[in-house]
Amino acid sequence: MSVLPIVTYNDPVLREKTKPVEENTQELQTLIDDMFDTMYNSQGVGLAAPQIGEKIQLFVMDVDGITDELEDETSRGPLVIINPEIVETAGEKVKMEEGCLSIPDVRDDVVRPERVTIEYLDRDLNTKHIEAEGWESRVIQHEYDHLQGVLFLDYLSAFKKRLHKSLLKKIDKGTLKIEYPVVPKK
C-alpha cells in the first residue's frame, strides 16, 4: 500500500465528470487500499478518486474520528463507495464548515441538506444502500460532488472566494506548506 500525491484544486481532473467502475480488478483493490493510506496520512475523512488523478466513480471515507466524539452520530467505520447515486436528500439545509485535501488550509461554511440516501457498490461490487445524516451525510455529499467535477468552493459567494484568494495563490505557486504529498496543476 502507498500514499499517493493529491492533486490541488486547480488541476483540470477535478472539474471532469467521472466514469463508472465496470469491473473488480486487482488494480482497483490496490487503488482502494492506496486511497485509504493517502486519506489517513493526510488526516482526511474522505478522498475521491479524482483527487489522486483517477477519473472513476470511487471514493473512500471514514468519519469515525469525528463521530466518536458525538453521541447522536452514526459510525460505520471505513467505507468504499463505488458508482454512487444519490437517491434522495431530505431535512433542513444545514450550514457546516468544510475543507478539502485538494484545497489545503481553505475552510468555509457550505449549506447542504441534512440527510442523504445513496445507492452504491462496495469494494466487492455488491449493491448497498445508506441513509446518512450529520457528518456522514456531509462527507458523502462532498465526495460525491468530486465525482461530478464540483468543489466546495463552487458553493461560496464571490465575496467568500475573494477572501481565500491569497491562500489559493500560495497553492498555485507551491509556496503553501502542506503536510502531505500534493501534485500541483499539470
What letter does residue 129 receive in the DSSP assignment? E
Q: Which residue in the list 54, 73, 143, 179 is annotated as catalytic?
A: 143
What is the DSSP code (8-state) at residue 5?
Answer: P
Asked about 143 being catalytic, the answer comes back as yes
Alpha-helical runs (H) found in the chain: 26-41, 64-67, 134-147, 158-163, 165-173
Q: How far apart are CA 21 and CA 182, in angstroms?
A: 25
- Three-class SS state of 17: coil
Decide: helix, strand or coil at residue 184. Answer: coil
Active-site residue list: 143
